[in-house]
Amino acid sequence: MQNLKVYKKIFRIPYAKQFAFAGIISRFPQPIYQMAILFVAYRYTSSWIIPAALSSTVALSYALAIPFLASLVDKYGQRYVILRLTILYLISITGIIGAFIFYLPYPFLFLFAATSGISQYYYGSLTRTRWNWLIKNSKLLHTAYAFEGAADDFVFILGPIIGVILATGPQPIISLAVIFFIAGAGNLFFWTLKSTEPPVIKIKTELIKKNTDLAKPIVTIHGVSFCIAVACILGINFGLVNVVISAIYTNAGQASLSGFILAIGSISSLISGLFYGLIHINMPQTKRMLILTITATLILANYIYLYNNIYLIPLIIFLASFVIAPIFTCLNTLMKDIVPNARLTQGFSWISSAVNLGTSTGSLIAGITIDRISIKASLIILLIVMILWNAISYPWAKNLKINQYL
């Protein structure tokens, strides 16, 4: 219980509770929307092709826009960008609702889907940047990042369930209306919290001459590509597992359980994330991540033998997901150590972008493999990807000139 006081310390910071809470609320539209757009589109089109295409449009536009929007946040400030994106997002959701209700041509649906993806900002990067500005103690910052990882898991536990329940009800369009009100309330509340907004750091020419990382493309900064690769691999893992679990339980006649099984993984990650926030080890972030990904690979190997046992799969999901939040805490801490403070929002946003691109890739790989070969084959591909990554990441991480410790 003594260790739990470290969480009390970070929330004693003035207005920390407010922006942390607002950040959680502002995250909810994304996981709710992921499920709502699928089921609402299916109800109105009686086809899975359009829903899948709309979902992909949202994910791709989001992944491509996030790094660019993050650079605007670093340049003009969080509140400046939040207000404009929120207005665009609310207009987009209204447009999608209208397109479904009035059966507008598909191009309108895809237009609003694209603009909703572009304006669906990841608030986790904004809250992490605020913590970084407010906390100068590395151990407390580690705890704050762990809390943010747990917040992500909490949102992705409840969000998809809420989305499915609302979108499969008698009036599925209500799910999109709920997203409108949550985004409006949460985003605007976050926008009002001016006192904890990090100041915009003006980059002067003489500073750029001393530190070229302030001006060159962020992906070319030493170590950033490693962080992006880790996030992409994790995304591939998520995409493959999501589709595989859905397929396994659908084949077993228990399709409705798949969402709850995946929620078990988020619960596991949430628990480990909060626990990890209490632990402080004098070890490089890259070494920590390597140990955690190897552990995950060893646990995932059991999928190949137990994939048809719907009673043991929840246990594997729980164990394999226990390392997810700690990996993301390491990843965000490493990005913080690599990227200049003036560009920190961009660094965090690239992680989110890479995860989404990886998830889309993993889902596509799983779908093709399951249809043309088997569920087991997709699990073998997942294991091969993880083994190859562990083999590549060891020498890559070893050659990184980053020695920050906690």
Question: Are 22 and 139 in a shared domain?
Answer: yes
Question: Are 196 and 267 in a shared domain?
Answer: no
Question: Are 185 and 332 in a shared domain?
Answer: no
Q: Could you tell me the two tokens for 89?
A: 């997002």
In whole angstroms, give the CA distance from residue 224 to residue 222: 6
Question: Are 285 and 176 in a shared domain?
Answer: no
Q: Could you tell me the two tokens for 241?
A: 């597992």
Q: Could you tell me the two tokens for 238?
A: 């998520």
Residue 325 Cα to chain centre, angstroms: 11
Question: Are 36 and 121 in a shared domain?
Answer: yes
| Per-residue pLDDT tens listing for the chain (406 residues) | 445 677 888 898 989 999 999 999 999 998 888 878 877 887 888 766 777 778 778 888 888 888 888 888 888 989 999 999 999 999 999 999 999 999 899 999 999 999 999 998 888 889 988 998 888 887 788 788 888 888 887 887 788 778 878 887 788 899 999 999 999 999 999 999 999 998 887 765 545 545 555 556 777 777 788 888 888 888 888 778 777 777 777 677 766 676 677 778 778 888 877 777 777 777 777 777 787 878 877 777 776 666 667 777 788 888 878 788 888 887 888 888 787 777 777 777 788 788 878 877 777 777 777 777 877 777 788 888 888 888 887 788 777 766 443 3
- DSSP label of 129: H
Is 325 among the domain residues? yes
User: What is the full DSSP assignment across 272-334?
Assistant: HHHHHTT---SS-HHHHHHHHHHHHHHHHTTHHHHTT-TTTHHHHHHHHHTTHHHHHHHHHHH
Is 12 among the domain residues? no
Q: What dihedral do alpha carbons 358, 93, 157, 317 form, nearest 10°?
A: -30
Helix H or strand E segment including 388: helix 375-398
- List the domain range (segments joined by +) for residue 306: 204-401
pLDDT, residue 404, reads 46
Question: Are 153 and 243 in a shared domain?
Answer: no
Name which of 61, 9, 54, 18 is nearest 36 in CA terms.
54
Q: Could you tell me the two tokens for 156?
A: 């992705």
pLDDT, residue 84, reads 94
Is 6 among the domain residues? no
User: What is the full DSSP assignment across 95-144?
Assistant: HHHHHHHTT--HHHHHHHHHHHHHT---HHHHHHHHHHHH---HHHHHHH
Question: Are 164 and 214 in a shared domain?
Answer: no
Question: Are 374 and 245 in a shared domain?
Answer: yes
Which of 200, 215, 247 delimits the end of a domain?
Answer: 200
Which of 200, 217, 238 delimits the end of a domain?
Answer: 200
Question: Are 144 and 214 in a shared domain?
Answer: no
Q: Rounded to two decimals, what is the model's pTM? A: 0.77
pLDDT, residue 206, reads 46
Question: Are 194 and 267 in a shared domain?
Answer: no
pLDDT, residue 405, reads 36
| CATH code for the domain in which residue 29 is found | 1.20.1250.20
pLDDT, residue 2, reads 47
Q: Could you tell me the two tokens for 39?
A: 């089921």
Is 342 among the domain residues? yes
Residue 79, classed as helix, strand or coil, is helix
Structure-token match 């989110």, residue found = 352
Q: One-letter amino acid identity for 19?
A: F
Is 7 among the domain residues? no
| Domains contained in the chain, number | 2
In whole angstroms, give the CA distance from residue 280 to residue 329: 12
103: left (phi over 0), alpha (psi -120 to 50) or beta: left
Is 10 among the domain residues? no
Is 105 among the domain residues? yes
Question: Are 255 and 159 in a shared domain?
Answer: no
Question: Are 178 and 252 in a shared domain?
Answer: no
**Please, what sign has the CA dihedral across residues 333, 388, 395, 400?**
negative
Which of 144, 167, 200 delimits the end of a domain?
Answer: 200
